[in-house]
């Protein structure tokens, strides 16, 4: 657990999609460490803080990935066009306006 404080500063930036898996693995390990109940109070708090940071980073990486997804839409004339994922999901959220 000694290196956890040193790595906390590195987690301020959302992980890349490849780094997402590593962050998720680390988060899962932190949960296991906390669940074992063998950490001191200070170690538990440090581990928890690191976990919160990793959770935020993973959420940001997922949001970024979602924004990159494009949905193929078939237009009336049969041609295909692409629209950003958020534009498509935004339409379903705004359907109550019509």
Number of domains in the chain: 1
Q: Which domain holds residue 9?
A: 4-68
Is residue 94 domain-resident? no
pTM of the model: 0.58
pLDDT in tens, the chain (98 residues): 444 444 444 444 556 667 899 999 999 999 999 999 999 999 999 999 999 999 999 999 998 887 777 555 556 677 767 676 665 555 544 444 44
CATH assignment at residue 46: 1.10.287
Please report the DSSP string for the chain in residue order.
-TTHHHHHGGGGSPPPHHHHHHHHHHHHHHHHHHHHT-S-HHHHHHHHHHHHHHHHHHHHHHHHHHHH-EEEEE-TTS-EEEEEHHHHHHHHHTGGG-
């Amino acid at each position: 657990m000694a290196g956890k404080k040193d790595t906390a500063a590195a987690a301020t930036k959302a992980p890349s999609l490849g780094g997402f898996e590593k962050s998720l693995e680390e988060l899962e390990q932190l949960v296991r460490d906390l669940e074992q109940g063998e950490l001191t109070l200070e170690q538990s708090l440090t581990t928890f803080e690191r976990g919160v940071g990793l959770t935020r980073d993973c959420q940001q990486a997922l949001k970024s990935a979602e924004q990159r997804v494009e949905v193929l839409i078939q237009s009336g004339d049969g041609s295909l066009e692409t629209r950003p994922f958020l534009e498509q999901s935004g339409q379903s959220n705004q359907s109550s306006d019509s």
